[in-house]
Chains A and B, each alone.
Chain A
């Protein structure tokens, strides 16, 4: 049976609630790697466990020193749970926010995740933020333009049918955090290229830093 890998420095951590919710969605077991500070694994140990066949994804808290090492090197999705996050609903994951920039690459990265969540009756909300790099060239008539744009956006990004699409303008990372606070999802799911070079992954960095909820990072395969 497949597994969800969970690592947290204490038993009461929301990591285990989130991992249990993902296990329910994926019909997996939870494999607990640590439940006290002394046993908390370093990056290499965590990645070694994560790389085992049958492990679907990892759930962890942002360890002060190793977090980005783990995130950058993992070839499997990871959910980063804020250290003092408290799960307030049951199931722990019933609504997920999926920011998409409209590119085929980003869409393909999270396509399977969206499908999995949709099949498990999780409510999906896709967020697209118009910034200078991702604003359409043309918006002919505001009376009609969104219908055609959104229909094709859904097809390009393989968005499951019942998914709601939210549009905003501004800086993507900032808007993701704001919309997360506004719409109260239980999780944000982001595709990313694992490239932390200057100027890259701004949305990921901002979301992990500022969003007060678990963030799933799905690496480009």
Chain B
């Protein structure tokens, strides 16, 4: 009976014991499983429906509440177990995508064991098996509604449970049978997250899965996960903790990103209802670049989410009297801005201005589409919908800029990634991103149809858009007037990471040079060729001591920047913080869902930071550097339509591909790798710390 699901291999298991010091709801989030845009938290089968949703689907929002939030779906994991287990462990097998639960040995009865997975093969199919002493498990209702969702309609026809709500329908059934004195309960459910399937379609899907049987469903599911791990993966000699945490990061990206025609990826993915499932720049800038290297089709689906809301973004720009398209800071089903207008900063009610002023999101969306296309070599996309997107956003920036009498262009009243300083002018990151957007759109249009008055105007505005660069110091001023603020450093306040705005108050941090997360340096991260050559280190040295890392997005990007600056041991220290955010609940908020942006940032730190990978001109650039604690870094990822494997040590890098791939390393002429190549790493030359 136990044969189909052996214990996970070392380095592939996340294990949680029922007596853990952290709240149970944290385990529920950490043990989330999912596929194809449907995910389920690791709640115990007998747990009553509580304040948090169990099952969520990508893009399925409850539009009846102000601002929309992800709709908690009927749960398929509920069982009535008497007596309920007193102690148990849950094991998430990252290699196979299976969550098991094993009760601690109990006198006079067989320990309860459950196995569940969200099929990686059959979209919407979920499977649960429970084994226990006969009579202990009562299956009860196969679908259990989340409290407070009266709109969910449920029926039972004697064999199939059916439930539906706007945008979602589900069917489920279960059986019980005896097997050598063990009572086996098997439940299968089919979710339709498109909102288009009829009840009979869902019942047919459940029936087909039932006929295939648990063992076959599990086997095909494990095979699909094995294929995923050949497409992307990591091995680190000398650091099993980081290796496991990075595998967990990849695992949860696969579980939380998905959809059929598009992928709406909220700040907490589908692992919890935190942040209402709203889509922020986390999706475009932190998650998408990681996903593009794992599963280009998923990255394309993420871009489609934005493309489908381009009309709403155009309306938003027009409503404000601007041309082009303006994307919302927080987005849900419709693509209109759903940012709340008030919030709370450690007990202090504050006005929320991000929806009004955090406008770099518009360039971030354009960047993510461009990054997807460049990384995946999807040139057709950039000739079609990608170009439309960049043109619309370039038009926005052109109209949004203020042209001064001296011929310079400015962007007033914005919030940069820092967010401790609001309503500033000429935020360097915003302006650099807008400038890049203008130039890239011009290039794409001119490549297709030649120069035009509009593209010349874009280039003119881009050329005159100020960015705060000071050649004498190599520093960018984060925004106009920043250098005149109180030069407070974070070590004078607390040990980072720390939410400095909660500790000191909004007014105090606004008067100081403390920043929440990389701002100027975010431009170095996203667009290494845009800032002045050689300016990475000077800005890292200046802004690093002023960075509170009070955003969960911050440490991973800090790690990537430090690695690129040739400081891999410092980078690893920051990466470790990011890697443990959810596994150790260091944010105190993981119960509400995983910090998917930070998770994407971790993979970026390894791929873009330590491996130094980037794509330009159809060439994979590498510039590896390893921390002293790592003797070897093995990476598998997709790039330029190829599967790539890197084996990096302190002396050289081995490159394997499944087809011709042009590769560039510092100090070497470009090479075309067809199957395998080994290249010595320079040891004496400085890194290209742009």
- Is the pairing of A and B real? yes
Tell me the residues in window 563-604 of chain B with beta carbons closer than 8 Å to chain A beta carbons: 585-593, 595
- Which residues from A are CB-within-8-Å of B524? none
* Nearest CB on A from B621, distance (A): 32
- In the assembled complex, how far is the CB of residue A134 from the closest CB belonging to chain B, in whole angstroms? 9
Q: Which of A79-128 contact B (CB under 8 A)?
A: 102, 104
For the complex, give the distance between the alpha carbons of A104 and B588 in Å: 12
A136 to B267, CA, bound (A): 18
B47 proximal to A (CB < 8 A): no
**Interface SS majority for chain A:** mixed
Residue of B nearest to A165 (CB): B347
Contact residues of A between 125 and 166, Cβ < 8 Å to B: 130-132, 135-149, 151-153, 155-156, 166
Segment touching A, from B20-28, B122-130, B376-384, B478-486: B20-28
Indicate if the CB atoms of B354 and A141 lie closer than 8 Å. Answer: yes
Question: Does A168 have its Cβ within 8 Å of any Cβ on chain B?
Answer: yes
- Is the beta-carbon distance between A153 and B588 smaller than 8 angstroms? yes
Binds A, one of B211-219, B500-508, B652-660, B668-676: B500-508
Q: Which residues of B in the span 492-512 have a Cβ within 8 Å of any Cβ on A?
A: 493-494, 497-499, 501-505
- In this assembly, does B518 line the interface, its C-beta being within 8 Å of a C-beta of chain A? no
Judge if B399 is at the interface, Cβ distance under 8 Å: no
Q: Is B40 an interface residue, CB under 8 A from the partner?
A: no
Contacts of A166 in B (CB 8 A): 347
Q: Which of these binds chain A: B82-90, B170-178, B222-230, B337-345?
A: B337-345
Please tell me if B42 contacts chain A, counting CB pairs below 8 Å: no
Cβ of A169 under 8 Å from chain B: yes
In the complex, the answer to whether A135 meets B494 with C-beta atoms within 8 Å is yes
Chain A residue with Cβ nearest B52: A151
Known: A130-B502, A148-B591, A152-B23. A143 touches B494 (CB 8 A): no
- Enumerate chain A residues within 8 angstroms of B588, measured Cβ to Cβ: 102, 136, 149, 152-153, 156
Instruction: Give the distance in Å from the alpha carbon of A130 to the alpha carbon of B585 in the complex.
Output: 18
A167 within 8 A of B: yes
Distance A139 CA – B347 CA, assembled complex (angstroms): 12
Q: Are B354 and A139 in contact (CB under 8 A)?
A: no
Residue among A130, A140, A149, A168 having the largest count of chain B Cβ atoms under 10 Å = A140
Quick one: given A104-B21, A143-B352, are A136 and B502 in contact (CB under 8 Å)?
Answer: yes
Q: Which residue of A lies closest to B493 (CB)?
A: A132
Decide if B346 touches A135 in the complex (CB within 8 Å). yes
Residues of A within 8 A of B350 (CB): 142
Determine whether B560 belongs to the interface, using a CB cutoff of 8 Å to chain A.
no
Contacts of B345 in A (CB 8 A): 139, 142
Select A140's contact among B23, B26, B551, beta carbons within 8 Å: B551
Max chain A CB contacts within 10 Å: which of B24, B501, B505, B588?
Answer: B588
Does the CB pair A139–B499 fall under 8 Å?
A: yes
Closest to B355 in A: A143
**Interchain CB contact under 8 A, B344 and A146:** yes
Shortest CB-to-CB span from B651 to chain A, Å, is: 37
When the two chains form their complex, are residues B340 and A143 in contact, meaning their CB atoms are under 8 A apart?
yes
Size of the A side of the interface (Cβ < 8 Å), in residues, is 29
Considering the chains assembled together, what is the distance between the CA atoms of A138 and B345 in angstroms? Answer: 11
Interfacial residues of chain B within 540-574, with CB under 8 A of chain A in the complex: 549-553
Q: Select one of B502, B589, B591 contacting A135, CB under 8 A.
A: B502
Residue of B nearest to A148 (CB): B592
Q: Contact between A137 and B498 (Cβ–Cβ < 8 Å)?
A: yes
CA distance A143 to B26 in the complex (A): 22
Residue numbers in A under 8 Å from B591 (CB-CB): 148, 151-152, 155
Question: When chains A and B are docked, how far (Å) is the Cα of A211 from the Cα of B23?
Answer: 33
Q: Hey, which chain B residues are within 8 Å of A140, CB to CB?
A: 267, 275, 551-553, 595
Structural contact, A149 and B354, CB atoms closer than 8 A? no
Inter-subunit contact B589/A149 (CB<8 Å):
yes
Q: A130-B347, A169-B505 are in contact. Are A138 and B23 (CB under 8 A)?
A: no
Q: How far is the CB of B420 from chain A (nearest CB, A)?
A: 11
Can you list, as one digit per residue, whether each of B324-362 has a CB less than 8 Å from chain A (1) or not (0)?
000000100000000110111111101010100000000
Most chain B Cβ neighbours within 10 Å, of A139, A141, A156, A167 = A139
How does the 8 Å CB contact mask read for A58-97 relative to B, with 1 for contact and 0 for none? 0000000000000000000000000000000000000000
Q: Which residue of A lies closest to B330 (CB)?
A: A143
Please give me the residue from chain B that is nearest to A137 by CB atom. B497
Cα–Cα, bound, A205→B437 (Å) = 59
Q: In the complex, are the beta carbons of B343 and A141 less than 8 A apart? A: yes
Q: What residues on A are CB-neighbors of B2 within 8 Å? A: none
Residue B3, interface by CB 8 Å: no
Residues of B within 8 A of A155 (CB): 23-25, 591
**Which residue of the partner chain B has the closest CB to A156?**
B23
User: Quick one: closest A residue to B597, CB to CB?
Assistant: A140
Query: Is B51 positioned at the interface, with any CB of A under 8 Å from its CB?
Result: yes
**Do B502 and A144 have beta carbons less than 8 Å apart?**
no
Contact of B551 (CB < 8 Å), options: A138, A146, A152: A138
Q: Does B276 sit at the interface, judged by CB under 8 A?
A: yes
A3-B502 Cα distance, complex, nearest whole Å: 44
Smallest CB separation, B285 vs chain A (Å): 14
Asked if B468 CB lies within 8 Å of chain A CBs, one says no
Is A168 touching B347 in the complex (CB atoms < 8 A)? yes
Q: Are B502 and A169 in contact (CB under 8 A)?
A: yes
Q: Which residue of B lies closest to A155 (CB)?
A: B23
Q: How far is the CA of A149 from the CA of B585 in the complex (A)?
A: 11
The reply to whether B23 and A144 contact each other, CB–CB distance below 8 Å, is no
Q: Which of B25, B274, B550 contacts A138 (CB 8 A)?
A: B550
**Contact residue among B52, B343, B590, B593 (Cβ-Cβ distance under 8 Å from A143):** B343
Contacts of A130 in B (CB 8 A): 346-347, 502-503
Q: Do B343 and A146 touch across chains, with their CB atoms under 8 A apart?
A: yes
B554 to chain A, nearest CB (A): 8
Residue of B nearest to A133 (CB): B494
Select which of A147, A151, A167 is within 8 A of B346 by beta carbon.
Answer: A167
Alpha-carbon distance A140/B339, docked complex (angstroms):
14
Judge whether B499 and A144 touch: CB under 8 Å: no
A101 to chain B, nearest CB (A): 12
Q: What mask results when residues 456 to 499 of chain B are scored 1 for a CB within 8 Å of chain A, else 0? A: 00000000000000000000000000000000000001100111
Point out the residue from B352, B587, B593 that lies within 8 Å of A136, measured CB to CB: B587
Q: Which residues of A contact B (CB under 8 A)?
A: 102, 104, 130-132, 135-149, 151-153, 155-156, 166-169
Q: What would 14 A/B residue contacts be, using CB atoms closer than 8 Å? A: A135-B498, A136-B587, A137-B587, A138-B551, A138-B589, A140-B275, A141-B267, A141-B354, A143-B330, A146-B343, A148-B591, A151-B592, A152-B588, A169-B347
Q: What 13 additional pairs, Cβ within 8 angstroms, besides A136-B587, A138-B589?
A: A132-B493, A136-B498, A138-B497, A138-B587, A139-B501, A139-B502, A142-B343, A142-B344, A143-B340, A152-B592, A153-B588, A155-B23, A155-B25
